[in-house]
Amino acid sequence: MINVIAAAQAAITAAGGEGGEEMPSVLAVPIDELIIGIIAFIIVFGGLAKFALPNIKRTLAERADAIEGGIERAAKAEAEANALAEQYRQQLAAAREEASAIRTQAQADRSAMIEEARAEARAAAQAVTAQAEAQIAAERSQATSALTQQIGELAVNLAGKVVGQALTDDARVRQTVDDFISDLERQAATARGSAQQ
């Protein structure tokens, strides 16, 4: 028992009186330790506030903005898409209308063209008919004059044979024949004119 007490006393002496000084209280607040504690905080606060936390604060704000902005952008894109769809619909309707108009126009054009072609054809046919008629008239007139001449010659020949003398070189005879022939021609022309009417 005495041993135990002695050992304890020795321990206390050894622990407390290590430097031969009185042991300071655990509740003592030495100024140097206080200042060191304050400095430690200031370093941490300054370092974090300057180099670390502004970055993350900005990033978090950006992230919030990105998420909110994303929603906003999506809404905007949707509205844009709707507007575009509406525009397409309108354009489609306009295009349909235009196509129908073009079709109508084309139909009208075709009718006009057919009408024109028909008119042209008619005109051409009339021209051909007119030409043919003119040619026929010319040929008839040629044939008539040729016939008249032959008839004249035949008549002179016949008359010569009937009179019994040559009448070829007599100017009076020739005049008479010519008159006769022109009279014939006149009659023929008159007859033709009345026939044409």
Partner 1 sequence: MSAEVVVASGQLGCHLNSGCGFPAPGAEIFLFDEVAAFTIGNLEFHITKVTILLFLVVAIILAFFIYAFRKPKLVPRGAQNVGEMAYLFIRDGIARDTIGKDGDKFVPFLFSFFFLVWLTNFMGIVPFAQIPVTSIFAIPVAFALIVYVTWVPIGIYRQGFGGFFKNLLFPPGVPKAMYILLAPLEFLSNLIVRPATHAIRLFANMFAGHLLIATFSIAAFYLLSASVIGLLGSAASFTMAVALTGFEALIQALQAYIFTLLAAVYIAGALNPEH
- Give CA–CA dist 46/66, Å, rounded: 29
- Which parts of 9-48 interact with partner 1 (CB under 8 A)? 10-11, 14-16, 18, 23-38, 40-41, 43-45, 47-48
Query: Is residue 197 close enough to count as binding partner 1 by CB under 8 A?
Result: no
Residue 51 CB, nearest approach to partner 1 (Å): 5
Among residues 177, 143, 187, which one has the least CA distance to residue 157? 177
- Which parts of 41-100 interact with partner 1 (CB under 8 A)? 41, 43-45, 47-49, 51-53, 55-60, 62-63, 66
Q: Output 18 or 169, the one with its CB closest to partner 1.
A: 18
Cα angle 11, 9, 2; round to 5: 125
For 163-174, b/e burial (b = at least 16 CB within 10 A) is eeeeeeeeeebe
> CB neighbours of 148 closer than 8 A, spacing ≥ 6?
181, 184, 185, 188
Residue 86 CB, nearest approach to partner 1 (Å): 35
- Give CA–CA dist 156/181, Å, rounded: 11
Q: Output 8 or 189, the one with its CB closest to partner 1.
A: 8
Q: What is the contact surface with partner 1 in residues (CB under 8 A)?
A: 3-5, 7-8, 10-11, 14-16, 18, 23-38, 40-41, 43-45, 47-49, 51-53, 55-60, 62-63, 66
